[in-house]
Structure 1
Amino acid sequence: MGCRIGVVFSGRQSPGGHNVIWGLYDVVKAHNSNSKIIGFLGGTDGLFAQKTIEITDEALPSYKNQGGYDMLGRTRDQIRTTEQVKATIGTCQALKLDALVIIGGVTSNTDAAQLAETFAQLKCPTKVVGVPVTLNGDLKNQFVETTVGFDTICKYFLVTFGHHNSTSVLTKVNSQLISNACIDALSAEKYYYFIRMMGRKASHVALECALQSHPNMVILGEEVSVSKLTIFDITKQICDAVQARAEKDKYHGVVLIPEGLVESIPELYALLQEIHGLHNKGVSVENISSHLSPWASALFEFLPPFIRKQLLLHPGSDDSAQLSQIEIEKLLAQLVETEMDKRLSMMTVKRWSRGAATSQIGKPAVHMASVDLKGKAYELLRQNSSSFMMEDIYRNPGPLQFEGSGADTKPISLCVEDQDYMGRIKKLQEYLEKVKSIVKPGCSQDVLKAAVSAMASVTEMLTIMSSLSFSGQATI
């Protein structure tokens, strides 16, 4: 008898969601052709209401390697309240599901983890599986090397393109087209592009695209947070780079900026928190500016009108700012242009920015993974930052490939981490082989005692470290 597996899309859409269903279908059918994959229409709303469709060979082909979640659809999803959990259990029991697969990001996998615990406590036989599918790449640990969709989003994602002081139009931009912007800047020799990347608190997309395309600068939110850089510090950094390039007769360049930078800049984050607090107290948008504290009011009045309007937007359901609506790249472009007017006689600015996107919801217990500022990928970026800034060594990774030699190309950040990890594994194996060659029948008692003592200590230490590492890691 085959198994019955339910699958639901949850949270923000991301590349790879359809392929997860495709892979699940192939594996389940390979084990037992009588098994069934049941999709829930409309995200968790469909899960609660038992709106289903059976996944079949006829339905899959048109969705293979296609982005979006349109095969099943989604809503502003969560499975958190008592009523929602009861409805989920009821659906699993009514449909006799052996497993429920929840496809989504940090918040969705938090819900999946909590739901699995609840099912176990209530002795519900349905197993709950969370699949990390998120474009931000911020759900990673020693068990999950990266998320489904991250590689694709770094190579192919949606942004809004706009000339300075002109109407924006919609286009598709990826690492390849960021490289095209670099070549455009190099060809015209008079433009600077400010490109706003996806990524809220974690800057993985900006880091990977920087490694792929070699822009002149990338501002990572994690760097700004650790160094507590102000908006003026960041402006000065960019202006110093522009001036240094100008001294070498280079009046063009590309700067990558993650959208989450807004919440990484201390004074802007504090201002947002104060504005959100006033929202929660019921103060109208028109009156918020008059209720700000003196320092916040001074900062608010300093900012351009378009940024003020965007900062006043109501926060999302998780109390976070609508980062996709805040044009941080336009603000930096204006501040840089103003400062460079004092330093240089000529400066023309172009900007690229990402269009609107759905905000995350909920307060996750599965913790987001930020860019590791001690990691190998960041170290690689820092090693090359000077040459990226001053030299035009732009790189074009080429178009997205589904088949052929380029189809399995990994993100650079992941390859660097893999090399370091596997290199250490190999080194450990070499040491173990050397121990085997020394400690064998016929070796002296002293060598044997030393080896046993040393291995006992190492084993005990590694056991403790492993248990601490596991207990301190978010469960998925």
Structure 2
Amino acid sequence: MTISALQQARAQYQPKLPKSLKGAVKTVPGAATESIADQADIKKLFPNTYGMPIITFEEGGEGVSIPACNVGVILSGGQAPGGHNVISGIFDGIKKLNPESKLYGFLGGPGGLVDHKYMEITADYLEGFRNTGGFDIIGSGRTKLEEEAQFDKGLEILKKLDIKALVIIGGDDSNTNACVLAEYYAVKRAGVQVIGCPKTIDGDLKNEMIETSFGFDTAVKVYSELIGNIQRDANSAKKYWHFIKLMGRSASHIGLEAALQTQPNITLISEEVAAKKQTLGEIVNYMAGIIAKRAANGENFGVALIPEGLVEFVPEMKSLIEELNDLLAEGSAAEQEFKMIQKSHRLEWVAGKLSPKASAVFQSLPSSIATQLTLDRDPHGNVQVSLIETEKLLGEMVKTKLDEMKAAGEFKGKFGTQYHFFGYEGRCAAPSNFDADYCYSLGYTASFLIGSGKTGYMSSVRNTIAPADQWIAGGVPVTMMMNMEKRHGHMKPVIQKALVELDGAPFKYFVANREKWAVETSYLYPGPIQYWGPSEVCDRTTVTLQLEQAK
């Protein structure tokens, strides 16, 4: 197989580890924990895995060996840079604890466990995947492990392969499923430990014990390079406004971090929009106002960052989407009637079925966007927000507003737009030095959680703005992060998503600078991910982490 010069060089990179994991390791339990909310409900659902202590690994343990332990690993959900290094860390960790231990990968995500599709991950096979992006080592999938029949089917293959521990690498939903599975196997005395690892480029799986989810660092650096390139182009051509939609449906961490790295003229933060109950019209007025100010200075160009999930945070749009989800629910009579109507009359039909307020919002939208809102639903029956071209919606509405301002003599410039969506470009990038180290450490930590007999824990590596040898490795009970939320009409235990904190240091820094960035051309050009060179360039963490942990 031919590989690039970069791949050859990265294959030689040895990820850094916390000092505590390099020699003999001591397991130090902390105080008992409780869930972030709904304590009584969570405790009732997870009697065997609730209230467990936070675990910290320290230097100085006795160098004891443990019995050989076969381990299974699953990649769950969307890709994120560094997944291969998590698996590398697990492999090296279990081999350090006992060279006879084996690692099995279940193919195509959680479905591989249920369908008994697997492979043994050997040293030779793993070698070609170290420090690379993607999840192609064993593939991923979005099958949810929620039903006892799935758990029992999975247990059959675990028993057959003599697998004593299962590591599920995924986001908040995947780790919630991991905790449910850990509880089920504990109740059944199945003899299988379940450990989670925090993955998502969206950055919304974080708390005091999980400082960042892996892949976020790399993905935002990739997006920030592209944004910087576009800003350089905008400042060169001086004739376009670039509206850039960024991945991140439930939270705006990507948009905020990209703004901190590149200093664009406009950045919308979904959580702020929701907190201020801003209407679509208010957002459009805000954007048009900045565009007009820059035009008055002779600068008819700029860059605007827009989070993927913005429309769901605008109260009027959220209400409209909820009505549309109910109206066009799969299998409903209305859905059947809608499909029978001529396409040219569908928007008019939908408008007539909505409440007066929702209908007015629906009819105010560009027809292309209104059509997108009526397209096929996702597997949960909801509007597929990622398919809504929010950047074009805002671009068209801003143009209409600027035309009105021009007629009133309030805008004398020109407005031309270019549209972009950065999503898949960042999900499988070769991991940054930070993610290469962080992911390897998460996997290595998971192996020590297994070695110390833990289940229902998530691998945790903290103090991440310090050099890697000062990182703090350990485990956090997944139940500690849970609360009860309504899903599909039923209350279910889930890991609480971490949204952008409007009183947090990163957002406050952004607010303190955004007016200056709006009017002035203060662009930063971070360039591509750096692997070699000064440590302050190559090993830097995200601006978000630096601001959050500033002493």
Q: 2:244 aligned with 1:113, yes or no? A: no
1:401 is displaced (CA, Å) by 2.9
The 10-residue stretch of structure 1 (292-301 or 375-384) with the greater mean CA deviation from structure 2:
292-301
Name the SS of the counterpart of 2:306 in structure 1.
Answer: strand
Segments of 5+ residues of structure 1 without an aligned counterpart are 157-173, 424-476
- The answer (yes or no) to whether the contact 1:238–1:336 under 8 Å persists in 2 is yes
Q: SS of 1:109's equivalent?
A: helix
**Does the residue aligned with 2:403 lie in a helix, a strand or coil?**
helix
Q: Give 3-state SS (helix, strand or coil) of 1:386's partner.
A: helix
- Checking the alignment, whether the CA contact within 8 Å between 2:266 and 2:518 is kept in structure 1 is yes
CA distance in 2, matches of 1:296, 1:152: 39
- In 1: Cα distance, 2:357 partner to 2:391 partner: 23
Match of 1:129 in 2: 195
Is the CA contact 2:279–2:315 (under 8 Å) kept in the aligned structure 1? yes
Aligned to 1:207: 256
- Does the aligned pair in 1 maintain the 2:247–2:423 contact within 8 Å? no
1:412 aligns with 2:543: yes
> Secondary structure at 2:124's aligned position in 1?
coil
- Which residue in the other structure is 2:277 paired with? 228
2:334 to 263, 283, 287: 283
Of stretches 141-150 and 310-319 in structure 1, the one that deviates more from structure 2 is 310-319
**CA displacement, residues 145-195 of structure 1 (integer Å, 9 cap, x when unaligned):** 000100011012xxxxxxxxxxxxxxxxx2012011111111112211110
Q: For 1:300 and 1:149, locate their aligned partners in 2 and report how far apart those are by CA, in whole Å.
A: 36
Residue from 312, 320, 327 that aligns with 2:374: 312
Residue from 75, 80, 91 that aligns with 2:141: 75
2:289 is aligned to: 240
Instruction: State how far apart, in whole Å, the 2-side matches of 1:310 and 1:50 are.
Output: 38
Give ranges in structure 2 of 5+ residues lacking alignment: 1-66, 339-345, 406-410, 428-486
| Alignment correspondent of 1:376 | 505
Which residue, out of 154, 169, 172, partners 2:220? 154
Q: Is the 8 A contact 1:38 1:54 kept in 2?
A: yes
Given that 2:374 and 2:383 are in contact with CA atoms closer than 8 Å, whether structure 1 keeps it comes out as no
State the TM-score, normalized to the length of structure 1. 0.81
Deviation at 1:253, TM superposition (A): 0.8
Higher normalized contact order (CA 8 Å, seq sep 6+, divided by chain length): 2
In 2 relative to 1, CA 65–108 (structure 1 residues): closer, same or farther, beyond 3 Å? same
1:278-331 CA-to-partner distances (Å, cap 9, x unmatched) read 122342344544422222222222211110111112332234431210001101
For residues 493 and 255 of structure 2, the distance between their equivalents in structure 1, rounded to whole angstroms, comes to: 23
Partner SS, residue 325 of structure 2: helix
Contact persistence 2:170–2:198 (CA under 8 A)? yes
Alignment partners' CA distance in 1, 2:108 and 2:175: 18
Say which of 290, 304, 321 aligns to 1:272. 321
Distance apart, 1:336 and its partner CA: 0.8
Task: Give, as a single letter, the amino acid of the residue that structure 2 aligns with 1:220.
Answer: I
Q: Deviations over 1:438-473 (max 9, x none)?
A: xxxxxxxxxxxxxxxxxxxxxxxxxxxxxxxxxxxx
Alignment partners' CA distance in 2, 1:34 and 1:214:
52
Q: Select the residue among 402, 416, 425 that pairs with 1:348.
A: 416
**More displaced stretch, 294-303 vs 377-386:** 294-303
Following superposition, the deviation at residue 356 of structure 1 comes to: 7.8
Quick check: 1:17 aligned with 2:115? Answer: no
Q: 1:62 is matched with which residue: 95, 120, 128?
A: 128
1:216 is aligned to: 265
CA RMSD of aligned residues (A): 2.0
Give distance in 2, aligned partners of 1:370 and 1:320: 21
The farther-off stretch of 371-380 and 278-287 is 278-287
1:330 aligns with 2:381: no
Partner Cα distance (2:232, 2:500) in 1: 28
- CA shift, 1:77, in A, is 1.7
Residue 87 in structure 1 maps to residue 153 in structure 2: yes
Task: Return closer, same or farther for 1:356/1:407 CA change in 2, 3 Å cut-off.
Answer: closer
Q: What's the CA shift string for 1:110-139, capped at 9, x where partnerless?
A: 101111121222222211011111110100
What is the SS of the residue equivalent to 1:64?
coil
| % same residue | 40
> TM-score normalised to the size of structure 2?
0.70
Q: Answer whether contact 2:248 2:254 (CA < 8 A) is retained.
A: yes
Match of residue 299 from structure 2: 250
CA drift at 1:264: 0.4
SS in 1 for 2:334: coil
C-alpha contact (below 8 Å) 2:246/2:255 kept by paired residues: yes
Q: CA deviation at 1:364?
A: 6.6
CA distance in 2, matches of 1:77, 1:12: 11
